[in-house]
A and B are shown apart, each in its own frame.
Chain A
Amino acid sequence: MRRVGPFILERRRAPSRAVVIGVSVLAVLAALLIMAIIFAGYGVNPWHAYATIGKSTLGSRYGLMEILRRTIPLLLCGVGLVIAFRAQFWNIGAEGQLLAGAVAATGVALYSGIPGPWLLPAMFGAGFLAGAVWGIIPAFLKVKLRVNDVITTLMMNYIMIYIVDWLIHGPWKGPTMRGFAYTDIFPKAAWLPTLPLSRVHWPTLVIGVAAAILAALILNRTRLGYEIRVVGESEGAARYAGINFLRVSLAVMILSGGLAGLAGVGEVAGIHHRLLSPTQVSMGYGYTAIIVAWLARGSPGVAIVTSLFFGLIFAAGDVIKTVLRMPFQVTGVFNGLILFFLIGVEPLMYWRVRLLPKGERWTGKAGSSGS
């Protein structure tokens, strides 16, 4: 307990759901406020900016569909990261795992010769596997050699980015693409169906929602989920309880990397229908998914909501670029700001502010602390 002037601050153990939501919304609003200043600094009236963004995203069918399209990879990566973060595994590598999935799907689509109806399932299978492989390398290194997971997962991103670059400039460069760095277009059997007049490849969306539900079940209802939570609470306690740290870490990263891999399959099979420059395949979904997962606070179900929100941010980025003629990087600034505010307001959740009874308000030392 601490006294500040006429107020008294009390520590609380677990903030209620309402407090968490309230404080999170506060963080988002604060970021929006700073963005308004940036808009103004850029010579764009902030009211006009937000009105335009609102109208072009939430206010039209096309806009809503664009939000959904952007939500799909964010949801899949975000759910995977929720699982990883629950085990205190710092997977910053969803970007690379997504690209690994895209590469595997491309390989299957163009070079496997698997017949029609089996092609898409095979692509999803290969994509999951590739993302999982890209994820378990850092898991092995972390558990066996105690190599920092943040660095390895990040380095794996860069490695995969250059592998994709190499593939599209070299061995997989499409002969029919006339000098452009693309692979050939996938056969029609490898195209995901989309909702009419949109780029929403709905099968991937269904997989994403199913993944969120499944992840919630795994985390809350299974032995693996229990072990993940214990490892996340305290590595020492996990060892004491006889939990196999390697097994849990591998399982977590297979799921986390695999889901990101599925997102990569969706992007190439649902939207581009070929493999192309890594920045065009992903646009930083894997990094933004970190915020999706952080905002979801360990709940895969909540990740559906938060990924929708960041789907909206991405769609807004397109509007900002095409209508307001400002660079897409605005979204990067906004993402950084939201994260700053989210962790900045976090301490607020653990303090309850109360006004002292009238008589005691101005007695005693201000700022004195008791226990």
Chain B
Amino acid sequence: MDWQSWLIGIVGRALAFGTPLLWGTLGEIYAERAGVVNLGVEGMMVLGAFSAFAVAQSTGHPGLGILVAALVGGGAALIHAFLTVTLRANQYVSGLALTMFGLGLAGLLGRGWEGIPLKQPLPSVTVPGLSKIPLLGPMLFEDQSILTYIGLVLAVVLWLLLYRTRWGIVLRSVGESPATADALGVNVFLVRYLAVILGGVLAGVAGGYLSVEYRPSWTEGMTAGMGWIVIALTIFAGWDPLQAIWGSLFFGALYHLSYRLQAWLPPELLKLMPYAFAILVLAIAGLSGRRRGAPGALGVPYTRGEK
């Protein structure tokens, strides 16, 4: 096998596997930018994955499955928002509860759907014209999911929104210093609700992508800790949507390599690679003193006008 097909394979598959990571990370970045950590990404993703599969399988419309996954993810995030924003509960514990609940519920409901191949997966696209470019064409524009491209565009849009619009300033100020934002007339609670729900919607789509596109079937625990990689990526990306693209690609490549290198290393050891790298990458970020961009009020419930 020559180096070109290797490179094409790795970049192409890194994009495909990086897609759910990208969607999830973009969502978590927005939630955390508003000051709310949501450790329930894994739970929201797995609920999205199951509901997308169930809807796609019974209606025959994979797109509808993705839509429902988004709604389910948003609904799950609403629980987290209510507990942490309104009731000011501990964000870590609420997120963990959401993950346990999501994994449990998806496993419970998904019993009868286990291991059936999806009749009608989301079709993959090959961009006409662009796919003819040597090397870059087959790498980036052949046999990719439409959700991969939407995800990349979304990253740019969310970046512009965050840094170039008034809305972005409002969102960042809520995560940085909610009291100041409140004094300036911003509805801190509303902004936090919306950001957390957006995070859930994107995590739901990420899960849906897995079950109706990447691996068109449903198996319990098919998210396999990706939700936690997303949390690590959020920090690694410095809460910046554009950086999230590179992070997701890197981890997408790691996941792909863990299959590709099986001729040389035991598969079980390769599978632990992404998780070990997640720790390594955060340690490096810590070593270089980069806690760049951590929102000032991250993880702190906001209490209005109480001393």
Q: Tell me whether B158 is interfacial, beta carbon within 8 Å.
A: no
Q: A151-B235, A152-B279, A287-B100 are in contact. Are A347 and B87 (CB under 8 A)?
A: yes
B283 close to A145 (CB less than 8 A): yes
A166 close to B268 (CB less than 8 A): yes
B286 close to A145 (CB less than 8 A): yes
Chain B contact patch, size range = 35 or more
Q: A331-B104, A340-B97 are in contact. Are A166 and B286 (CB under 8 A)?
A: no
Binding site secondary structure of chain A: helix
Interface size counted on chain A using CB atoms at 8 A: 44
- Expressed in whole angstroms, the minimum distance between the Cβ of A232 and any Cβ of chain B is 13
| CB neighbours of A327 from chain B (8 A) | 107-108, 111
Binding site secondary structure of chain B: helix
Q: Tell me whether A337 is interfacial, beta carbon within 8 Å.
A: yes
| CB neighbours of A146 from chain B (8 A) | 286, 291
- Expressed in whole angstroms, the minimum distance between the Cβ of B286 and any Cβ of chain A is 3
Closest to A141 in B: B283
- A320 CA to B98 CA, complexed, in Å: 22
Segment 56-88 of B: residues with Cβ below 8 Å from A: 79, 83, 87-88
A336 close to B98 (CB less than 8 A): yes
Q: Tell me whether B39 is interfacial, beta carbon within 8 Å.
A: yes
| CB neighbours of B278 from chain A (8 A) | 151, 155
A158 close to B96 (CB less than 8 A): no
B87 close to A332 (CB less than 8 A): no
Known: A155-B275, A334-B104. 19 other contacts (CB 8 A): A151-B228, A155-B276, A162-B268, A162-B271, A162-B275, A163-B272, A170-B268, A287-B100, A332-B101, A332-B104, A333-B101, A335-B100, A336-B43, A336-B102, A339-B101, A340-B83, A343-B89, A347-B87, A347-B89
Q: What is A's interface to B at a CB cutoff of 8 Å?
A: 38, 90, 92, 141, 144-148, 150-152, 154-156, 158-159, 161-163, 165-166, 169-170, 287, 290, 294, 326-327, 329-337, 339-340, 343-344, 346-347
Q: What is B's interface to A at a CB cutoff of 8 Å?
A: 39, 43, 79, 83, 87-90, 92-94, 96-105, 107-108, 111, 220, 225, 228, 231-232, 235, 266, 268-269, 271-272, 275-276, 278-279, 282-283, 285-287, 291
